[in-house]
Amino acid sequence: MTTALITGASSGIGLAFAERLAAEHHNLILVARNRDRLERVAAVLSSSHGVNVDVLDIDLSHRDQVDLVGDRLSDSNNSVDFLVNNAGFGIRESFIGGNLDAEQQMIDVMVTATMRLSHAVLPGMVKRNSGAVINISSIAGWMTSGTYSAAKAWVTTFTEGLSHELAGTGVSATAVCPGLTHTEFHSRAEMDVSNAPDWLWLDVNEVVDRALHDSRRGRPISVAGRHYQAISLPIRYWRAAQRRAEGALRARVMD
């Protein structure tokens, strides 16, 4: 039986991934800060689906705790076949005059932890010629709204680079770029999105369905919802053309 490790697994998109992968009979390692909530989720998933569920109450804004998760990911005797880097948060404040520590924590959780955990898990996956990394980005990464958007843009570009590097290895890397999704994210960040029209909202399971579909086909970017797919199409087309141009340039430089 394969094993999936999911960060930010106690709620939202991370929880939906946990529920779906448990239903597909993957053993789970769930990572989040709230141990009580993790243990409740673990008990339900274990009893419902007959899978092993371990929990790690970890704060990914702390490097030493990130590396504890990295140690588990690189353990060759207990391989992880599926990594979902989902942990993240947003803040309502503007960058100028805002809380710089909170801005730094966003980078620590969404950029540094994503990089270090991917680096920990991928050598084993490549050696086994199988595995998948899913990094939760956002359509916000194609917008201009401060540190959050910049961090998500990094996640998307980083994942595209991984996908290119992993070509032919049997391992995939996919950046998931959801739009507005029904989770606790906005209420936790104290963001007022009450004026957003209903048609803009995605069900969390729609995001997970699309992510797994695209991951299993080796696609570097996953966008759920036809409206978001349409909005993002020119950007994704341009990025694909850019990758082709980069490949041609790289080949010429390396000749």
Q: In the annotation, is 148 catalytic?
A: yes
DSSP at 11: S
Q: Write down the CATH superfamily of domain 3-228.
A: NAD(P)-binding Rossmann-like Domain (3.40.50.720)
Q: Does 249 score more than 60 pLDDT?
A: no
- Measured CA to CA, the distance from residue 114 to residue 88 in angstroms comes to 10
Domain borders along the chain are: 3-228
Q: Which residues contact residue 119 at a Cβ distance below 8 angstroms, ignoring those fewer than 6 apart? A: 70
The whole-number average pLDDT for the span 102-112 is 97
- By CB atoms closer than 10 A (0-12, 13-18, 19+), residue 224 is buried
What is the chain's Cα-based Rg?
Answer: 18
For strand 82-85 and strand 53-57, is the pairing parallel, antiparallel, or unpaired? Answer: unpaired
| Percent over 90 (pLDDT), the chain | 70
pLDDT of residue 201: 63
Token output for 226: 């036809």
pTM, rounded to two decimals:
0.85
| pLDDT for the residue 189 | 47
Average pLDDT in the chain: 88
Higher pLDDT, 185 or 231: 231
What tens digit of pLDDT does each residue of 189-226 get? Answer: 455 566 666 656 668 999 999 999 999 999 999 998 67
pLDDT digits (tens, 9 = 90+) for 67-98: 999 999 999 999 999 999 999 998 888 899 99
Half-sphere exposure of 86 (CA within 13 A, CB side): 29
Q: Check 17, 148, 185, 228 and give the catalytic one.
A: 148
Hey, is 213 helix, strand or coil?
helix
